[in-house]
């Protein structure tokens, strides 16, 4: 089971909370677009075998980043609900 990481971020009102959520959503969308773009290049067979291996690693890294951003958004939404 993954070990939880606790973060505390000072938020000065609803505007900052919306800004943080928007920044995380934008970052998640960017990562997903990169995953899809690189996966498509790999599936279409662009580059040498070595380059395709590198793309496979990059896709895995980008997917991990996307998943972490998704977890951050879920935690943020949960914290907002708990805050009332």
Confidence of residue 82 (pLDDT cuts 50, 70, 90): confident
Alpha carbon distance 43, 30 (integer Å): 20
Q: Give whichever of 3-7, 14-18, 44-48 has the largest mean pLDDT.
A: 14-18
Decide which of 54 and 64 is more confident.
Answer: 64
DSSP state of 81: H
Does residue 52 carry a pLDDT above 80? no
Return the pLDDT at 2.
81
Q: What is the pTM of this model?
A: 0.79
The answer to whether the beta carbons of residues 25 and 56 sit under 8 Å apart is: no
Does residue 59 carry a pLDDT above 70? yes
Decide which of 29 and 4 is more confident.
Answer: 29
């Amino acid at each position: 089971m993954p070990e939880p990481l606790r973060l505390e971020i000072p938020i000065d009102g609803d505007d900052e909370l919306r800004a943080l959520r928007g920044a995380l959503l934008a970052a998640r969308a960017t990562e997903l677009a990169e995953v899809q773009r690189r996966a498509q290049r790999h599936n279409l067979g662009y580059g040498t075998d070595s380059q395709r291996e590198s793309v496979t690693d990059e896709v895995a890294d980008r997917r991990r980043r996307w998943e972490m951003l998704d977890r951050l958004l879920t935690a943020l939404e949960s914290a907002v609900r708990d805050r009332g």
